[in-house]
Every structure is written in C-alpha cells, then in structure tokens.
Amino acid sequence: MADPQQMEAAVHEYVAAFEAGDADRIGALYAEHATVEDPVGSPLKNGRTEILEFYRSSVATGAKLKLEGPVRVVADYAVFPFSVNLHWEGSDKRIDVIDTFRFDADGKVTEMRAFWGPANMHGFS
C-alpha cells in the first residue's frame, strides 16, 4: 500500500499541476494502465495515453482547482472535495467536485473517479 503522506502529496501535486496548466505533470501521477471516470457514469479513459489526452483538453480550458476541505486518506484511497474554477464563454463558472484516487503500492494513481453532476455546476446557463 502507498504511504498516506505520499497519497496526500499526490493530491496537492494534482492541484498544483492544474494551476501550472501542465497535463504531463498530472499524467505522471498515474500508473500506466490507470482509469479515469470523469464524471462518474461517463466512458472510462483507459491508460496513460487516453488520460493525457483528457487532461490536455482539461487544462486547455484554463481551469484552476481549489481544495475545499481536507484530503481524506484511508486504505489505498485519497478522497478530496474541490472546486473547478474557470472563465468560460464570457463569465466565471464553478463546478463542485469530489474525486477519489486509488493508489498502487508504488504510489501511482490506478483509478480516478470524479463525482459531480448538473446540480454542482454554477454559472452555466
């Protein structure tokens, strides 16, 4: 199992990499055969190539993340509430999200799931 401090540090690196607009830094957090489901119920992004493509599109929006509470670490999971903040189509928008990261023994994310839906999207018409 990954070290809890390493898991929490990965969450902070995820937020910092978004701040920097660096999809490659985000991708480096993931294991080679990881999955991303963002939002839950959408098609899985499988493997680092699809994950990098997803994050390149995400950071291209100029989105910035802000932690909205403490990171919770239990077993091989880190769970964290945050907001996605962006200026889109002429106005500021916010999406309230809870993500789960599951880690392997090497401290790499093997599964990310993002929990949010229409009721969590603010400023969108």
Instruction: Tell me the backbone φ, ψ of residue 49, rounded to 5 degrees.
Output: -65, -50
pLDDT beyond 80 at 29: yes
Which domains does the chain show, CATH number per domain? Answer: 4-122 (3.10.450.50)
Q: Summarize the confidence of residues 96-116 as an average pLDDT.
A: 98
The yes-or-no answer on residue 38 being catalytic is: yes
Q: How far apart are CA 89 and CA 68, in angstroms?
A: 25
- Give me the pLDDT at residue 2, please: 85
Catalytic one of 30, 38, 55, 99: 38
**Residue 109 CB neighbour total at 10 angstroms:** 27
Helix (H, G, I), strand (E, B) or coil at 43: coil
Q: For residue 108, which phi and psi values (nearest 5 degrees)? A: -95, 145
Selecting among 14, 30, 55, 99, the annotated active-site residue is: 14
Residue 14 falls in the annotated catalytic set? yes
Is residue 68 helix, strand or coil? coil
The length of the chain in residues reads 125
pLDDT tens digits, one per residue of 69-89: 999 999 999 999 999 999 988
Region 14-18: mean pLDDT is: 97
pLDDT at position 1 is 76
Given a cut of 80, whether residue 125 has pLDDT beyond it is: no
Query: Measured between alpha carbons, how far is 23 from 77 in angstroms, rounded to an integer?
Result: 22
User: What amino acid occupies position 26?
Assistant: I
Structure tokens, 83? 């907001």
Percent of the chain scoring above 90 in pLDDT: 95
Between these two residues, 1 and 103, which has the higher pLDDT value? 103
Quick one: what percent of the chain has pLDDT higher than 70? 100
pLDDT at res. 89: 87
